[in-house]
Each structure stands twice: as structure tokens, then as C-alpha cells.
Structure 1
Amino acid sequence: MTSVLTALLAVVIAAGAAIVLVEAVHWVVKRLGRRSTLLNDLAGTAHKPFLATVTVYAVQQAVRSSAGEFTGRAGVLHALVLLVIASVAWLVGALLLVLEDAALARWRVDVPDNMKARRVKTQVVIMRRVTIAAIVVLTVGVMLMTFPDVRALGASVLASAGVISVIAALAAQSTLGNLIAGLQLAFSDAVRIDDVVVVEGEWGRIEELTLTYVAVQIWDDRRLILPTSYFTTKPFQNWTRTGSAVLGTAEIDVDWSAPVEPMRAELRAVCEGTELWDGRVCVLQVTEATGGMIRLRALVSAQDAGSLWDLRCLVRERLVTWVFEHRRDSLPRLRADVAQSERPVPAQAVVAPADDAAPRDDARVFSGAGDGDERAAVFSGPEEQTSGATSGIRQ
């Protein structure tokens, strides 16, 4: 009975001293954290695991050194050892989280040019999950090895590690494939957090990227959950891999009599009158002339995918309104020859354009002002090797 009372008294004194010490350190770090973001995060994140670690360790040492022999002493000490291992793992995980948050704080993703920041964030998030998983696995392994029976079993398991590894690889082939794919995505820059992608016919952004799955936030706030191996085995579109600026089209069908030049001027006025346009590309071209109608394609550019969508809708709406209000006779129509005329209709004279009439810049995609010449060089190769192809594109 005396040993039990002595043990309880030692535990109370050790726990009280540990709590006082931890709170004093916490107060000092919190005061210093007013001038340091790192110390402020450390005081908030590591306080509880640090308190648990110091308190449990102090109690263990008090029972081991001050308490005499009492019933269940070995079991109590073993339980305290397990708690020390768990609390130390908790503290290590908290310290790593603080360091990772400090690394992420240097890279802001709420700015326009955030491609490098999104790359760093993706890698840090993946490594954080790997680190936490490794800490949990190591902690459980160390705790199990404190049991003599499990330690003996571990030796026999290591002796037959070849057979077990083969069985585990076959059983967890899909899981291991996703884990490897997650690490590959983190460091290959194929996809990053906040990238705008098109997968499975859906347009959205990468909301979450883990070791086993990727969550895509679709434009209508649905979530598409895909395994990480999807992005390493199947093709997908990444609209923001090298930059957020993108091109988009708006197409309308009109009659052959539709005036193209006035519609080009209207497209230019629409683009210049909205903040959605980034000033790079504003082109109207006739892409098809079949079935009694012509297809006009307006190619415009914007600084990001969301602005591009709104700009495409605005351009389509304004062009349709212009045709209906100013050239209603250019609306799509069907023509039919119901009767043969007795006298042939004289052909109308065709006026050839002037020789010095140059095509407008907003009638060309792969030449002219803006980045048309650069786009032509990208798609046609070196000029000395494909000068004929380039000149054919520009004509």
C-alpha cells in the first residue's frame, strides 16, 4: 500500500512539474510569436503534443525511479512506454506540419501568376501525406516491437520476407500503383492543385490531390473523384500547365450573303469594350461554307478559363444580336429550285478586289499582329526547313 501511495504522489508531482514547465515554454514562445509567424504557428500547433509528450515522459520516469514494487508495475510501465512513443510521434508530426506550413506561406496561390506556387503546394501536400503515413507506420511498428511475442514473430516474418512481399504486392497492386502515381504527379508537373483540366468530358479544376485519388471540382460545383493512376495512364487536357491565358471560339451559322467585314468590326468592338478580353487575339474567320450556309468562327483570348467562358458567351450573344438587328436577311435559310425559268438569268458581274488590298489582321490566326507570327512558328517548325509550309499557312 505504501508503494502505491508513493507512486501516486510521484506521478502527481511529476505531472504538475511537467505541466508548469510546458506552459511556461508555451507562454514564452507565444510572446515571441508576435514577431514571428513561424513561432506563432509553433505555439498553436505543437502545444498539445508537446504537453502530452513531456507529461507522459515525466510520469514514466517518476514511476520507474520513485515508486517501489507494487502489483501491476510492469504493466503500468509498459503502458507508459506506449504512450511515450505515441506522444513523441504526435509531436514529430506536429513539428513537420509547422515546417511545411512555413514553406507554403512563402508561396501565395491567390495571385494571377501562381504557377510555381501551385507546383510547390502540390509537392508539399503530397509529401505531407507521405510523411504522416510513414510516421503512423513507424509508430505502430515500434509499439508492436515492445511486446516480446510480437518481436519474436517479427524475426520469423523477416526470415520469410520474400514470400510476404510477393503476396502483398499481388494483393495491393492497384493501391501501390496509385501511390506511385501520386508521387509521380507531385514531381512531374503534369497536374497541380488549382489547374484547370478537362477529364471525362467535364471541365473543372484540381481541388485536391492525394496519394490515391484526385478530386476535380467541376464548373457546376460537382466533384469528380478519380484515382491518381488515371492521370498517368489516360490523356486529359490541362489548360493551365504553362500559363492561365487560353484561347476559345464562338461559332455561328449565317447565310452566304452575310457581310463578314462589318461583323469583324462588331467583334472587335465587343472585345475592346469588355474587361474579359486580354488584348491578345480577336479574329473572325469563315471556317466552313457547306449546306447553303457559312460558319463564322470568332477566336478570342482571355487571361483565364473562367473569363474565357464568359467572353465566348458574350461574343456569341452580340454577334447573333447584330445579325438579327442589322442584317436579318443574312439569317440561315434553305433554298430550293421549284421551277425552271424560261429565260436564263444573266450572271452578275464580279468585282475583283484591288491588288493592293491587304487582308486584315483580325481575319488571320497564324500571321499578322499580336502573337499570330509566333503561333505560326510554333505549329510550322523552323523557318529554314518549312518555309514553304509557313508561307502556305499565311496565305
Structure 2
Amino acid sequence: MLVSTVTALAVLVGSILIGLLVVEILRRALTSRLVSRWPLAPPIVRRCVKPGFTLAFAAGATAGLPPHQVLGRSAPDIRHTLSLLVIASLTWLIIQAAYAATDVALEHLTRIEGDRNVRARRVRTQVMLLRRTAAAVVVIIAVSSMLFTFPAVRTIGAGLLASAGIAGIVAGIAAQSTLSNVFAGLQLAFSDALRIDDVLVVEGQWGRIEELTLTYVVMRLWDERRLVLPVSYFVHNSFENWTRRTARVIGTVLLHVDWSVPVEELRTELYGFLREHPLWDQKDWVLQVTDVLPNGLVQVRALMSAHDSASAFDLRCDVREHLIAFIREKYPSALPRFRADTGALPSNAAWTDGRSAPHA
């Protein structure tokens, strides 16, 4: 009896060590100088080593599990526990392998700039949502498989399959809000209405889409706050998307100055400043007098384009500061002034209601 127990334990330990050794060999092969040049090797090693070792341990323990004679009455429970561990670790490995396979594409899409940036962000958003959806499906299948390893659950499951229609209706009603968000997330991603890194104005808040999941959207505001909204919000409410077709944004600078301002010289100064500024994309610019205001003031509007909204904001601030300094130094008479007629009214001037002016 003692010999058989020692042999069974040796087989168990040997099976576990063989499984771990196989994973370690694969890990070393993927990190070798020759294979490490393969783009998928680094993300596979980073994501799949831990679930791989866990699966190797569970599978090795299951394969080398001692017979009933050695384990006694606890054999079924131990075997059941190991089977649950195998399912869980296999699910973990599948999800991490899928994430590793898509990490390469997402990293490449993140580096794309210029005119192709909009398409890259659209594909990146769709890939992230698809892999999260796939992960959710795999987890649901795994949990269902683990539950059906229990005899009592299998008996209940057979009865539920007979009334699947009623169960589906009940589950649909209970999960109506969650399902609506899931479908809304897929709708937004594949209708190209919303993408990662899009610049939005929502409820008067300006920010950039930082995370887009199946149920909620995280928007990073300009002051580093985070605005979290359900995905269904963007289906049922209007919002501004500044980067839907292109990341380029045209910035605006408004100045209220005196009528005597030399517009042509101000226009020349603006172009000279933009031409040397690194944030200007060398495409659009204009300076125009757009309105005549009371008290002898005019509204001057300067427009300039930039690669993205963040660059446009900084460029606007720099242009505003430069034009103010230029007017203050070169043409101080064009600074805003309020005019008033200080001449005294004649003593016999009539008031609007027909009365004479009061005596001093």
C-alpha cells in the first residue's frame, strides 16, 4: 500500500513538472533572440505565461491524479475541483491569447498620424469592442460549462431547456438596460459615430474619449477629470464630435479693438507669426473684421487650423497673446476705448419729457 501511494504521488508530481516544463520551454523559445523578432512573441509572453503555467499545473494534476484507492472518498471532489481549475485556466489563456493577438494591431494603429488617423481610430475602437465582446462570450460559456459539471445543475438545466422561451423572455426583461447598452456600444463603434480619442462636447463639457466599452464611455475632460456616461446616452442624445471626419480643427481668436486699428498690418503680422509657429498645419488662416460694435469698437476674427484640437487650443492662446502684444506696442491708440461726450448741455436745453433742465 505504501509503495503504491509513493508511486501515485511520484506520477502526480511528474505530470505537473512535465506540464510546467513544457510551458517554460515555450516561454524561453519565444524570448530567444531568433523568435523574439516575431511581432506576436512579446505580447504572448507578457499575457500568456501566467495562465499557461496555471493550465499546465491543472492539466498535469488531472492527468497524474492518483486512483480512488489512494485518495479514498475525497477522490471525486478533488477531480471535480481540478476540472473546474482546468476550465477556468483554459478560459483565462484563451482570453489572454486573443488580447495578445490584437495588441500588435492596436499598437500599430495608435502610432498612425495624419490623414489616416481617423480610419485608424475607427478600426482601433472596433477591435477593442470586438475583443471585449468575444471575452464576455468566452466567460459566459466557461461559467456555463463549470456549472454543468455539477449534477444538480445539469438536472435543472435540462428542465430549463424545455422552457427556454419563457426563460429567455424573463432574462431579456431583467437585462434590458444592460443589453441596450451593449447593442448601443456596437452601434456606435460600427456606425463610426464615436471612436477612441475623438474630441467631443457633451453637456457643455469638452473632452476626449479615453475608453469605450460595451456599457459605458469614459471621457477625459480638459482639466483631467473623467466624465463617465452610459453608452445609450450617445444613442438618445445629441453631442458634438469635432474629429469625426478629420482630426484637423480650425481655431478662432476674437479681438475687440478701436476703429483705427490697421487691419492690413494686423493681417500681415498674423501670417508671419503663424508661418513660424510649429502648431500651425500650414493650411488655413484668415483675419477679418466681422462686426461693428458700439462705442467705436470693431470685432476682428482670426482663424487658423491645426492638426488636432489640443494643438488648436494652444495655437489660439499663442496667437491671442501675440496680437495683443503687437497692438499694445505698435498701435496703442487702437486699444479698446469708451467714448463719451462730456460737453455741458445748454442751460435752456429741453429734457426728453418737455421739462427744462434744473438749475445748478
State the TM-score bracket (shorter-chain normalisation).
0.7 to 0.9
Name structure 1 gaps, 5 residues minimum: 342-395
Task: Give 3-state SS (helix, strand or coil) of 1:186's partner.
Answer: helix
Aligned to 1:314: 318
Q: Percent identity?
A: 45
Alpha-carbon offset, residue 109 of structure 1:
2.7
Q: Give the structure 2 partner of residue 10 of structure 1.
A: 11
Distance 1:123-1:312 versus aligned 2 partners, 3 A rule = same
CA gap 1:105/1:68 in 2 versus in 1, 3 angstroms = same
TM-score by length of structure 2 reads 0.85
Go from structure 1 to structure 2 and tell me whether the alpha carbon gap of 1:24 and 1:130 turns closer, same or farther (over 3 Å shift).
same
Counterpart CA distance in 2 for 1:103 and 1:65 is: 47
Cα distance 1:49–1:326, how it changes in 2: closer, same or farther (>3 A)? closer
The one-letter code of the counterpart of 1:321 is A
Counterpart code for 2:84? L
- Amino acid across the alignment from 1:16: L
- For 1:125, give the aligned amino acid: M
Aligned to 2:111: 109
State the shift of 1:23 in Å: 2.4
1:90-120 deviations in Å (ceiling 9; x for gaps): 2212221221123324434363442222222
The answer (yes or no) to whether the contact 2:19–2:57 under 8 Å persists in 1 is yes
Partner of 2:355: none
What does 1:117-132 correspond to in 2, within 5 Å? 117-132=120-135
- Please state whether the residue corresponding to 1:46 is helix, strand or coil: helix
Matches of 2:123 and 2:243, distance apart in 1: 15
The CA deviation at 1:249 is: 0.9
Could you tell me which residue of structure 1 aligns to residue 257 of structure 2?
Answer: 254
| Within-5 A mapping of 1:178-327 | 178-292=181-295, 293-327=297-331
- Distance between the aligned counterparts of 1:324 and 1:27, measured in 2? 68
Q: Normalising by structure 1, report the TM-score.
A: 0.78
Tell me which of 64, 73, 76 is aligned to 2:75.
73
The 1:28/1:67 distance shift into structure 2, 3 A limit, reads farther
Q: Which has the higher contact order (CA 8 A, sep 6+)?
A: 2
Question: AA paired with 2:41?
Answer: L
Matched, 1:58 2:64: no
| Cα drift, residue 139 of structure 1 | 0.8
Which secondary structure does the structure 2 equivalent of 1:87 belong to?
A: helix
Residues 19-34 of structure 1 mapped to structure 2, 5 A cutoff: 19-31=20-32, 32-34=34-36
SS of the residue corresponding to residue 243 of structure 1 reads coil
Of 60-69 and 279-288, deviating more is 60-69
Contact persistence 2:16–2:64 (CA under 8 A): no
Q: Render the CA deviation track for 1:212-239: whole Å, top value 9, x for unaligned.
A: 1111112222211121122222222222
Local SS of the residue matching 1:37: coil
Gaps of 5+ in 2: 347-360
Task: Count matched residues.
Answer: 341
Letter in 1 for 2:39: T
CA contact (8 A) 1:11 1:62 kept: yes
Q: How far is the alpha carbon of 1:24 from its aligned partner?
A: 2.8
Q: 1:321 to 1:21 in 2, by over 3 A?
A: closer
**Matched letter for residue 13 of structure 1:** G
Amino acid corresponding to residue 134 of structure 1 in structure 2 = V
Distance 1:152 1:248, change over 3 A: same
Whole-angstrom CA distance in 2 between matches of 1:97 and 1:276? 36
Amino acid in structure 2 at the alignment position of 1:304: D
Conservation of the 8 A alpha-carbon contact between 1:254 and 1:294: yes
Q: CA deviation at 1:12?
A: 1.8
